[in-house]
Structure 1
């Protein structure tokens, strides 16, 4: 017998306390990116207790595999990120962080607990579906280094479809966001080192001023959005750091610029990054200085597959009602490395509302960030329902 929506809802309700207890455990014990050692150990213990095999991915990630008892079929990946932030916890809650200076202020504790709850229920119904469900417990989302361990390591080469969720304090609890097309921007973090020649400021002609060159580069980079991309393309070229100089009377021989590029298109992303490097080099040449350009690819643009998003809307409607499904959420310049999975296979990234009061309305990455935990039940139910409905009628 195939499990129906009412049964899924009841079974999630039955293990709600289990999900909440896990979330509060992870919240008490946050760990930063690539150092989630105790976190992944607890996840492994839960997965072993549930009885699902897994393999290690890097030092602090695992990929669990649940094969359906009705034979072969498609393979879908469900993902939860598990890392926390280097941020104090000022919630004052009984489950506040006991690790000073670290805080699950982005909801990854809830992501992890929800996916473990989904795994627990899906294991009980293993004989009722064909195909395979894989569960990625992924480190280092906050620094854009976790998804690539799964992707570049070849661990998900056979995946047909991907699905993920993110809790969202800006959305009321009881609502689900499923938006077709671009959802989150790419994130590139570039550095430009400028090299000049020192000298006394009273003889600028004898030096090559890296500070002036760097300042000119920063100014000219602002022309990319204004003059090199279409007005309808949403692009950010932001500069957050400009370091130069050692003393008021010394011509700076080195300067360093750090900035970011955010776009919603693979093509525009490449165009803008090329422009940043080109402008930096040409401006530097004009000031008789040289540069070194480097870029860290933190995340691709997150673009939801249209068909997958429409499927998510139907599944979400069965859970919270169509009136509580948001299908036109504004795009966000915030990045998420779930985009790396979407570059391998079609899928969708949904957001689950967790706001119900002033306490749960703080923005992500805030010291007082917290959630209405009722959103975790919705997240768990959505994981289960989306996976089973996809495997039953793949597209």
Structure 2
């Protein structure tokens, strides 16, 4: 399979560079979608456009069997590119700084390979080219459109500069955190700064709450369970001598275990209400789910590890700690078992060392043949497996 990927490497690189030069923000990937659909039509696949800019393509094999999803994201970020490459972004202030351009190019490469192997496909390969990963909206749109109906397993990957090109990280358990945004709003009574007893201040209680919530993580959650609660914004007051009627706090929370998540949610509500009660003011707590934590299925991990040995060779699977980052791939995992892997693209000589979302982010394009082969080989391995 790696040889097949290498035989179309020029195609994969060309497509990726076209994506890179023409990045588009979440849910606005119209030109990206048009290019993807044009390429898929050449392969004779069943194509359906869904959501704003997402695309589902179906490849039906020669024999009936299971259905496997291969997914790639395709949105860019609002970042001014500072990398030194010949195909820099032509869209000012927008950059493929997370490698989604490579993910989509590799999936197109896999579709190209597999479309020529229909006689060896026992079942259906479903390709998701997904919009809006960065704002956690795209997976929901594909699911709402019926993309996950009758799916038995799903697979996705992300490139990282924490491993050299040709290496991967494939392991079970929780791999990415869930993410919630929490909005706290205290409401009191405004008044003159010289007579605080005639008003109900909200700034002091809000500050008490900010210093108090870290105790939730340390005292209510087991120390072995990673949870991060960060306050990213506080807004209160209009003038130095006016007691502020309102104080707003925006928080971000990351977690792995849904049970720990509920403990923290309940505690945040409890502490906010207790502080509001102590200072005789009102409070509202609005918890907005961004995405769920992602947990790899052990059976699919074993298949992916065997796939890795075929594509990368033995000894190329590197273990690493779970990331506290989040991904909406987790929503697909609510409908079918799945596995999400990391692929290395670190190359010091090429300057491929920057972590995603950096203005100098740069991949080692050599890694894309490995990613393309992993996509295609996993699909065959899963469909040929005896699971289900």
**Residues 1:23 and 2:5 aligned together:** no
The match for 1:318 among 310, 318, 330 is: 310
SS in 1 for 2:149: coil
SS in 2 for 1:135: strand
Hey, what's the Cα distance between the residues in 1 that align with 2:269 and 2:48? 40
Hey, what's the Cα distance between the residues in 1 that align with 2:14 and 2:61? 28
Hey, what's the Cα distance between the residues in 1 that align with 2:316 and 2:9? 21
Following TM superposition, the consecutive aligned residue runs of length 4 or more in structure 1 with deviations greater than 2 angstroms are 151-155
In the alignment, structure 2 segments of 5+ residues that lack a partner are none
Stretch moving more, 268-277 or 358-367? 268-277
CA deviations 1:182-236 (Å, max 9, x no partner) are 1111111111122111111111111111111211111221111111011111111
1:345 alignment counterpart = 336
1:147 alignment counterpart = 139
SS in 2 for 1:324: coil
SS in 2 for 1:371: coil
Hey, what's the Cα distance between the residues in 1 that align with 2:141 and 2:386? 27
The match for 2:49 among 56, 66, 70 is: 56
Alignment of 1:336-375 (within 5 A): 336-357=327-348, 359-375=351-367
**Residues 1:76 and 2:50 aligned together:** no
How many pairs were matched up? 386
Stretch moving more, 167-176 or 107-116? 167-176
Q: Is the 8 A contact 1:201 1:249 kept in 2?
A: yes
Hey, what's the Cα distance between the residues in 1 that align with 2:280 and 2:347? 58
Alignment of 1:58-207 (within 5 A): 58-70=51-63, 72-207=64-199
Hey, what's the Cα distance between the residues in 2 that align with 1:270 and 1:64? 37
1:228 alignment counterpart = 220
Hey, what's the Cα distance between the residues in 2 that align with 1:239 and 1:147? 27
In the alignment, structure 1 segments of 5+ residues that lack a partner are 1-7
2:201 alignment counterpart = 209
SS in 1 for 2:65: coil
**Closer/same/farther in 2, CA of residues 321 and 10 from structure 1, 3 Å limit:** closer
1:33 alignment counterpart = 26
* Structure 1 position 278, deviation (Å): 2.2
2:325 alignment counterpart = 334
* Structure 1 position 376, deviation (Å): 0.6
The match for 1:269 among 261, 264, 269 is: 261
* Structure 1 position 285, deviation (Å): 2.0
**Closer/same/farther in 2, CA of residues 394 and 95 from structure 1, 3 Å limit:** farther
Q: Is the 8 A contact 1:261 1:272 kept in 2?
A: no
1:3 alignment counterpart = none
Hey, what's the Cα distance between the residues in 2 that align with 1:217 and 1:121? 56
TM-score between both structures, scaled by the size of structure 1: 0.95
* Structure 1 position 294, deviation (Å): 1.6
TM-score between both structures, scaled by the size of structure 2: 0.97
The match for 2:285 among 278, 283, 293 is: 293
Hey, what's the Cα distance between the residues in 2 that align with 1:157 and 1:290? 45
Hey, what's the Cα distance between the residues in 1 that align with 2:172 and 2:258? 17
SS in 2 for 1:74: strand
* Structure 1 position 141, deviation (Å): 0.6
Hey, what's the Cα distance between the residues in 1 that align with 2:145 and 2:218? 39
Hey, what's the Cα distance between the residues in 2 that align with 1:107 and 1:315? 22
SS in 2 for 1:63: strand
